[in-house]
Amino acid sequence: MQYKVVAEAYEQLESTSKRLEMTDILVQLFKKTPTDIIDKVILLTQGKLHPSWLGLDVIGLAEKSAIRAVQKATGEKIKIIKEKVKETGDLGTTFDKLKKLKVKTLSQFMQKKKPEPRFSSPITVEEVYSELDEISKLTGTGSGDKKLSRVSELLEAANRKEGKWILRTLIGKMRLGIRDMTILDALAIAFTNDKKNKPIIERGYNIYPNLGEIAKILTNQELDTIKNLKIVTFTPVRMMLAQRLSSIEEILKKLGGISAWEYKYDGERLQIHIDDKVMLYTRNLEDATPQYPDVQKLVRDLDIDKAVIEGEVVAVDSSGGLRPFQELMHRRRKYGIDDAVEQYPINLFLFDILKKGEQDLLDVPYTVRRKHLEQLVEGTDKLKLATVKITDNASEIERFFNESIESGCEGIIAKDINSVYSAGARGWSWIKLKESYQSTMADNIDIVVVGAYMGRGKRARTYGALLCAVLDEKEGNYKTICKVGSGFSDSDLDFFLQKFEEVKRDTKPPQVKSVIKPVPDVWFDPLIVAEIAGDEITLSNVHLAGFGKVKTNSGLAIRFPRFIRWREDKSIEDITTTDEVVDIYKRQRKTV
């Protein structure tokens, strides 16, 4: 399959922010794609070579190196390339424009004939994927020069548009605004001719989150195979998520009485896979195994050969007292792991089990899963079960909540005792109640940063305020909800300045909906997640979150927002939705 077919589809996708149009474009692309490479096309569309949980090499070419490759491929001066990047805001677009204008000079015509090219003309998807994969695996002495040479050779073989998208893939800036749910819509239509089959495909994806492999199964008309997918160790299951309410009484009413109430620990949630080895995965389905050798050691001592369990790893002090989530940030490193283990010790609190031996437990009730877990775990100082109380007595729950806060937890989480484990879903079977509920705003929310305003005074060289957005699941875009400029320490901003540089752009991303004036000084691709608090949700004439859902021609905004922490453990798929914001607003007003 010619890569230009994919590049042309990307051009169409870039030109729209409408989810239905994106879906139609993807449907046509998938139908054109041969079965044996559908997985590669989907991964490239996601800006990946492999699912993140495999922990394999990513391309990760620095823009500085990519600029040198463009210079080598086009013969243009680096200074001019950098100037063009400033004008266009994107190296891929710059290559497109340079290649369009480029005419061979006399000296180039007089050069010796080059060796036989390694790529087809036009280049194919298989060649692009294979070359990028091989480039990503180059390491050691001289690997930088080898990468540069191979990238430039690939760009020389590509036409303008192909080179644009190869470069964007290389530097990790696809800017297509495509969410996994949109790809699932397209797969349902392309390979089952009925979007109503999406829930079946989505369930399969939640258990086996590899869109490329899911697509391969569907191309062979094997919808029943998707229906019957089972948990595979070392393939993380997309984690079940909780809703939120602001009072014990509301939660009891929602769950219908007697419920399980667990401590909500202020740590990092891990899904732990045990088989011939131990692997750890975050909420983002990223491999966290190297960061926690102490967790690996703890679970190896469990009396089981194969299992998938979930728990919260929490930083502790020398006496075993719980420390806040920020302490765990020091464990996010590639080097000096042993020192980090010594300086920032942890405890592990287990709260669910999804697979025991060969038995999948997703569809069994909470109480049965808890019993399996209790049979498996004999508590130690470092490895324990999450503290739980099963009751429908509001006074008992209130005391339990207070005890959780005193012990260093965020609050408690209520669970329907008859609920199954709904992979990837945020339903009402789990409901969290946190200390922050003392304000009229029911909970902190998770936002994605989409823009920034330059600071003044002591923040003159950094950002003074960040423009934040939440997810509109129905439309598949991000709508602004507030500007946050308080709660940051200098270290909070310094920690993410480099990451902001990686996602910075001059124009508003097409998947971001904003009418705010003045516009931000810089825009960001919506990739960086943060947790923020506020006094309450209010009606807004300038923000678009929940626009028209509460009052005609009005959106919703957070009053007195303040930064709490960065959430590297959460993906943009997991942030707060506009529907959740509307629900919080209504509950403030006691209208539901």
**Catalytic residue numbers, as ranges:** 264
User: Residue 341 has which token pair?
Assistant: 């283990």
Burial of 495 (0-12, 13-18, 19+ CB in 10 A): middle
Q: What are phi and psi of 176, to 5 degrees?
A: -95, -20
Q: Tokens 């936002």 appear where?
A: 447
**417 Cβ contact partners less than 8 Å away, ≥ 6 residues apart:** 258, 259, 260, 365, 366, 367, 390
How would you label 259-287 residue by residue, b for 16+ Cβ within 10 Å and e otherwise?
bbbbbbbbbbbbbbbbeeebbbbbbbbbb
CA distance 168 to 90: 8
- Dihedral of CA atoms 564, 438, 387, 445 in degrees, nearest 10, equals -40
* Amino acid letter, residue 507: T
Determine contact, residues 529/567, Cβ cutoff 8 Å. yes
Check: CB of residue 540 under 8 Å from CB of residue 528: no
- Residue 433 near residue 398 (C-beta atoms within 8 A): no
State whether residue 466 is helix, strand or coil: strand
Rounded CA-CA distance 462/173 in Å is 23
The answer to whether the Cα torsion of 69, 72, 76, 78 is positive or negative is positive
Tokens of 467: 């423009």
One-letter amino acid for residue 406 of the chain: E
For 312, 324, 368, 441, the CA distances from 405, given in Å and listed in that order, are 16, 12, 28, 19
Measured CA distances, 198 to 178, 194, 423 (Å): 16, 8, 15
Asked whether 515 and 450 are in contact (CB, 8 A), the reply is: no
Q: Are 460 and 527 in contact (CB under 8 A)?
A: no
Round the CA-based radius of gyration of the chain to a whole number and report it.
25
Task: Report the C-alpha gap between 573 and 583 in whole angstroms.
Answer: 19
Q: Distance between terminal CA atoms of the chain?
A: 54
Strands 278-281 and 268-274: antiparallel
Q: Report yes or no: 529 and 566 within 8 Å, Cβ to Cβ.
A: yes
